[in-house]
Amino acid sequence: MQLKISSPAKTIFEWEIKEVILPTEIGEVKILPWHTPMVTVLKPWIINLIPVGSISSNDFIVWKNNLVSLSVWKGMAFVDGKIVKVVISSATTIPTESIKELESKKLKIEEKIKSLRKSGSLEEIERSLIQLDKINADIRLKNLKN
């Protein structure tokens, strides 16, 4: 099965895979070859996949126990049984920031959410919660790499 993860700016990952686990709004969904066709909304979190064969360099991805992981923003996935296309605004293959920097960002966003709950709009709160989910995904990804 072919997997293509792309943003409006570039292709982030394209590879032949055995399976992929997508973070959907209703929970994680495992996609195997010949999966029933579907379209689903993705939430910010981790995509895990098992590639066919090995990947020549693991400098640009988190590769552990034959599992490739990357964190993604909100997006869409299109599945037809032979191809999985994931379209997202951005993804992190390896966080460049330290855990300390990511934790600091997380605290700032949590404080912002507390403030917004008192006087912000629902849209501002939702955007901040999505940012928080993405930072939590990056922290998890960084921990997987270490």
pLDDT of residue 81: 86
Give the list of residues 6+ apart from residue 78 with CB closer than 8 angstroms, or none. Answer: 38, 39, 84, 85, 86, 87
Average pLDDT on 33-58 reads: 87
Position 71 pLDDT exceeds 80: yes
Position 59 pLDDT exceeds 70: no
Position 38 pLDDT exceeds 70: yes
- Domain count along the chain: 2
Domain end (from 57, 73, 92): 92
55 and 123 belong to one structural domain:
no
Residue scoring higher pLDDT (57 or 70): 70
Check which CATH number belongs to the domain holding 83 and give it. Answer: 2.60.15.10
Residue 80's domain spans which residues?
Answer: 2-92
